[in-house]
Amino acid sequence: RLEIQNAKAANMPKDNVEAAIKRASGKDAADITEINYEGKGPHGIMVFVECATDNTNRSVANIKTIFNKNGGEMLPSGALAFLFDRKAVVSFDVTDELDMENTELELMDAGLEELEVNDGVAYAYADFTDFGALTSKVEELGIEIKKASPQRIPNNPQEFSEDQLTEIEELIDKLEDDEDVQAVFTNAE
């Protein structure tokens, strides 16, 4: 349910959502493996790629090719794990009716570590293991979730110039376009 809500928030076409559900619940669903790849991109950016695939050989070849053709290289598995903290992130709109102080106190009972508000949107961060508790608590408070997902947050974000970010975004876009890629995380600030 949350994934459908996240897809709608990202303006994903209804046909794509239905195709993904059909693929995930089809006869081949048992053959899908979750696998992570790590790499270094242009200008030294560190990239963590989460995939779900029915063919790991195809996935590793595709990801490696994308890195190599875009000024990067793949790194051994586990090389970047220490650079990212796995967090549950839930976002929702801040409204006039919402008492943010009380909301923050309520969410602390569900594992909230940090609540950040940016441009009228609240981002609630908790440990990855508290994902279910945090999303349930937000819903229990009657707050409509915009997006809820596990994320890898860089623990030492790096700054890059606009020109560097343009090159980096090309790599990220190509990675995200691969059918097996579920999420891409970087250490860019």
Cα distances (Å, whole numbers) of residue 67 to 51, 88, 145, 163: 15, 27, 34, 18
Q: E-strand spans in the chain?
A: 33-40, 46-53, 73-75, 84-93, 112-118, 121-127, 145-154, 181-186
pLDDT reading at 141 higher than 80: yes
Which are the contacts of 43, defined by CB distance < 8 A and separation ≥ 6? 160, 164, 167, 168
Tokens 């997006």 correspond to what residue?
A: 147
pTM: 0.79
pLDDT value at residue 175: 94
Tokens 């030492």 correspond to what residue?
A: 156
pLDDT reading at 4 higher than 90: no
- Segment 5-25 mean pLDDT: 64
pLDDT value at residue 31: 80
pLDDT value at residue 81: 87
12-26, 55-69, 173-187: segment of lowest average pLDDT:
12-26
pLDDT reading at 62 higher than 70: yes
Task: Count other C-beta atoms under 10 Å from residue 138's C-beta.
Answer: 23
17-21, 24-28, 115-119, 185-189: segment of lowest average pLDDT:
24-28
pLDDT reading at 153 higher than 90: yes
